[in-house]
Amino acid sequence: MKTSITKLFIREIDRLTSEIEQYQDESALWKLDKNISNCAGNLCLHLIGNLNHFIGKHMGNTNYVRQREAEFSTKNVPKATLLSEIAKVKEIVIAALQNFPEEKLQEQYPIEKNGEIPSYELMLLHLLWHLSYHVGQINYHRRLLD
């Protein structure tokens, strides 16, 4: 299971990289329009923070301190910086998952989610879905506003 989950995280993080790379107009990463309330740049920052917090800190024992509000309030981060941060979080996720004992996947994750304490396995599946969902939003944003 751990190998499959790791492969899926790598695939989705690579999709995130590809989406950000494909923006022709760097300023378009930060555009909002009509009913689009989150721009691609902020969604990217949100995913980086989310993965660093839930996998890096809580599974890989990093000292990451999440600033969730800044994930949505920070603007105009250069595309190169976003790509660099994605590359860093990819390595953190890979290392955390590779070093995490497979038998521990059924144990309780240390944080409540949606009113319950999930297993590590369920939390990873949730995080994978969350990543994929927002990458899809970024794809749509790029095709509409770039």
Q: pLDDT per residue over 102-125, tens digit each? A: 999 999 999 998 899 999 999 999
Closest CA to 83 of 3, 5, 23: 23
Residue 128 and residue 119: Cα distance in Å, rounded?
Answer: 14
Q: Which domain holds residue 20?
A: 2-145
Question: What pLDDT, in 10s, does the model give residues 11-51?
Answer: 999 999 999 999 999 999 999 998 899 999 999 999 999 99
Q: How confident is the model at residue 35, as a pLDDT? A: 87
Question: What pLDDT, in 10s, does the model give residues 64-86?
Answer: 999 999 999 999 999 999 999 99
Q: How confident is the model at residue 18, as a pLDDT? A: 98
In 3-state terms the chain splits into helix, strand, coil percentages (rounded to 5) of: 70, 5, 25
Contact yes or no for 56/64 (Cβ under 8 A): yes
Residue 117 and residue 134: Cα distance in Å, rounded?
Answer: 23
- Residue 101 has which token pair? 């004992």
Q: How confident is the model at residue 116, as a pLDDT? A: 95
The CATH number given to whatever domain includes residue 58 is 1.20.120.450
- Residue 54 has which token pair? 């839930």
Alpha helices per DSSP H over 52-105? 58-60, 68-73, 79-99
Contact yes or no for 125/4 (Cβ under 8 A): no
- Structurally, how many domains does the chain consist of? 1
